[in-house]
């Protein structure tokens, strides 16, 4: 009964959230509902009607009703069993007789009734001693409020009308798993995944899930080679729960040995199959080439699974637990009077860590220059072609905008030439990027497409010719204008997302030391890009590559 109660609470919570956002739904949501109505006759009653109907119906759904429904699924005996396993495990797969024996015994199994949960709803046994807000300023470009808390934490608050009842959290700090010794890289890289599977503070993953079921709240720690942070969301009614989870995430990070075993087993299963799948094998080889098989950035191997270490992963989480290292961004339906008590009680109260860690680490990344890397796997007559160019480059906002325009321009001209005119591919992607990471920055250009193996060389040369056209200034002005306009329209749409705002405010403030308002001037920077700017980018990059990695059918020697 307690499990059914949790399921009912979760369903009602989601329907209430939808009803509160009924006038803020994306057009796509309406389109999908109308499509189902006209094609399948599905009703489109609206979120408020659905909520009222479910509130009326749920009390009448009892344990015996669900049990009877579950039993009805197995009454016809029309079981079909399919087993999929890698070749390496073929010898351990049960034969037909053993499978039939297992199936025959299963209905006679004695499965104990699940224990009724006696967990309460409070996450903290006592309230922390509050800190304080020491200073506040307003960012002129965005209208966001920037607060400094008594424990050194920086908080950015941005109220929006994007949703009626949504508050997003995104926190970021410099420094990621590239900072640990190479022999601990695997454990640190998986620390966020292990923590998510383990629960939080005194609660296992199951106990935590039960406590927050029925509340519209999410929270997790994330980590990359160069940065780390926290991400979450809540409705206004569940904002306290989000802050309690945040407090536990800093003060009581948790990794269970059982969770480690489960995660390790999942990776072991994936990696056993991956080498047999041509695409998986290709992308692993691709990562090894473009990272120089760097111990912090290369793809995971079966041998790495055995190196996952609980103490190393937990040590990484604890090192990452100084709140003053982070900038916390909250966006959405924010009321300062509602937020400040939570900020003081659950964020300003978190004690500092033993060592401040707000610095990037250099993993010694070595990129490939002009080179050829054929990869042979599988029997299908299909090739995957990747070409990449890399150049160390100091970051600037103007050049980053030019790289985005170049990406959009190449998507247009390469699709027209390689797909439409030459009929060589179903799709082709191309992207240029100027990133501040790894410091001091890197300029990249990458293209990727699938084709017939006998056309891989021909189409590669066609792509390079299009890039050379740009480098030599032969740029179609209409396509260039379309690329700029597409970026500007994309920005307008993205600004309606609280998550987009939170992530980009944090990235600007932490990665680039720039105020949040710089995000609002992005369309102006796109408009300032000139054809000569993307010409210069191509002219700079083309002599440095490409590093070309191509999948062909066959087997490695």
Can you tell me the distance from the alpha carbon of 139 to that of 145, in angstroms, rounded to the nearest whole number?
Answer: 6
Mean pLDDT, rounded, for 180-185:
97
pLDDT exceeds 90 at position 24: no
Indicate the average pLDDT of the chain. 94
pLDDT exceeds 80 at position 353: no
**pLDDT tier at 555, thresholds 50, 70, 90:** confident
**pLDDT tier at 499, thresholds 50, 70, 90:** very high
Q: Are 368 and 547 in contact (CB under 8 A)?
A: yes
Mean pLDDT, rounded, for 297-319:
96
Write a three-state SS string for 404-437: HHHHHHHHHHHHHHHHHHCCCCCCEEEEEEEECC
pLDDT on residue 117? 65
Can you tell me the distance from the alpha carbon of 473 to that of 470, in angstroms, rounded to the nearest whole number?
Answer: 5
Q: Are 147 and 136 in contact (CB under 8 A)?
A: yes
Range in 49-58, 417-426, 533-542 the model is least confident about: 417-426
pLDDT on residue 274? 86
Can you tell me the distance from the alpha carbon of 491 to that of 513, in angstroms, rounded to the nearest whole number?
Answer: 21
pLDDT on residue 119? 62
**pLDDT tier at 388, thresholds 50, 70, 90:** very high
Mean pLDDT, rounded, for 311-333:
96
Give all strands of the β-sheet with 327-332 in edge-to-edge order: 133-138, 145-149, 154-159, 327-332, 167-174, 227-234, 217-223
Residue 380, both tokens? 């299908």
Picking from 191, 229, 182, 178, the residue whose alpha carbon sits closest to that of residue 438 is: 178
Place of tokens 């083309």: 542
pLDDT on residue 122? 80
pLDDT on residue 185? 97
Backbone angles phi, psi at 307, to 5 degrees: -95, -5
pLDDT on residue 120? 65
Can you tell me the distance from the alpha carbon of 318 to that of 353, in angstroms, rounded to the nearest whole number?
Answer: 8
pLDDT on residue 479? 98
pLDDT exceeds 70 at position 16: yes
Mean pLDDT, rounded, for 358-377:
95
Task: Give percent above pLDDT 90 in the chain.
Answer: 84
Range in 211-215, 285-289, 329-333 the model is least confident about: 211-215
pLDDT on residue 118? 63
Q: Are 255 and 194 in contact (CB under 8 A)?
A: yes
pLDDT digits 0-9 by tens, 103-160: 889 888 888 887 776 666 689 989 999 999 999 999 999 999 999 999 999 999 999 9
**pLDDT tier at 531, thresholds 50, 70, 90:** very high
Residue 357, both tokens? 């860690």
**pLDDT tier at 88, thresholds 50, 70, 90:** confident
């Amino acid at each position: 009964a307690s499990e059914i109660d949790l399921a009912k609470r979760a369903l009602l919570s989601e329907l209430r959230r939808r009803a509160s956002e009924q006038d803020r739904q994306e057009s796509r949501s309406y389109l999908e509902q109308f499509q189902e109505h006209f094609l399948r006759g599905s009703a489109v009653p609206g979120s408020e009607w659905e909520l009222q109907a479910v509130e009326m119906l749920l009390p009448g759904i009892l344990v015996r009703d669900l049990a009877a429904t579950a039993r009805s699924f197995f009454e016809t005996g029309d079981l079909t069993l399919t087993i999929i396993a890698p070749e390496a495990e073929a010898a351990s797969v049960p034969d037909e007789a053993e499978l039939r024996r297992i199936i025959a015994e299963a209905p006679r199994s004695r499965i104990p009734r699940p224990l009724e949960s006696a967990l309460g709803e409070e996450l903290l046994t006592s309230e922390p001693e509050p800190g304080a807000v020491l200073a506040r300023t307003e960012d002129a470009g965005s209208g966001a409020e920037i607060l400094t808390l008594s424990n050194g934490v920086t908080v950015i608050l941005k109220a929006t009308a994007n949703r009626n009842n949504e508050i997003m959290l995104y926190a970021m700090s410099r420094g990621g798993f590239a900072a640990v010794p190479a022999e601990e890289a695997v454990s640190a890289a998986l620390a966020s995944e292990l923590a998510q599977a383990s629960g939080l503070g005194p609660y296992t993953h199951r106990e935590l899930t039960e406590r927050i079921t029925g509340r519209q709240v999410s929270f997790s720690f994330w980590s990359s080679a160069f940065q780390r942070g926290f991400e979450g969301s809540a409705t206004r009614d569940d904002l306290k729960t989000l802050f309690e989870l945040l407090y536990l995430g800093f003060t009581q990070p948790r990794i269970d040995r059982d969770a480690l075993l489960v995660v390790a087993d999942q990776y072991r299963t994936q990696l056993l199959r991956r080498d047999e799948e041509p695409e998986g094998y290709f992308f692993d080889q691709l990562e090894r080439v473009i990272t120089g098989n760097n111990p912090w950035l290369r793809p995971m191997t079966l041998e790495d699974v055995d190196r996952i270490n609980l103490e190393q992963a937990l040590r990484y989480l604890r090192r990452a637990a100084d709140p003053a290292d982070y900038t916390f961004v909250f966006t959405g339906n924010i009321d300062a009077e509602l937020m400040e008590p939570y900020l003081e009680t659950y964020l300003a109260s978190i004690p500092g860590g033993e060592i401040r860690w707000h610095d990037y680490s250099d993993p010694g990344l070595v990129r490939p220059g002009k080179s050829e890397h054929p990869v042979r796997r599988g029997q299908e007559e299909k090739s995957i072609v990747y070409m990449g160019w890399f150049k160390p480059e100091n970051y600037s906002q103007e050049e980053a905008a030019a790289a985005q325009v170049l990406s959009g321009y190449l998507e247009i001209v390469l699709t027209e030439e390689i797909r439409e005119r030459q009929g060589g591919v179903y799709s082709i992607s191309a992207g240029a990027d100027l990133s501040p990471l790894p410091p001091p920055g890197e300029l990249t250009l990458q293209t990727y497409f699938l084709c017939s193996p006998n056309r891989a060389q021909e189409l590669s040369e066609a792509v390079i010719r299009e890039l050379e056209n740009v480098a030599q200034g032969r740029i179609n002005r209409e396509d260039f204008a379309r690329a700029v306009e597409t970026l500007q329209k994309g920005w307008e749409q993205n600004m309606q997302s609280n998550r987009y705002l939170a992530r980009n405010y944090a990235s600007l403030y932490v990665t680039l030391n720039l105020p949040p308002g710089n995000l609002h001037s992005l369309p102006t920077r796109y408009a300032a890009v000139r054809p000569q700017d993307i010409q210069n980018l191509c002219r700079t990059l083309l002599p440095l590559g490409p590093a070309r990695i191509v999948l062909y059918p066959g087997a490695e020697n």
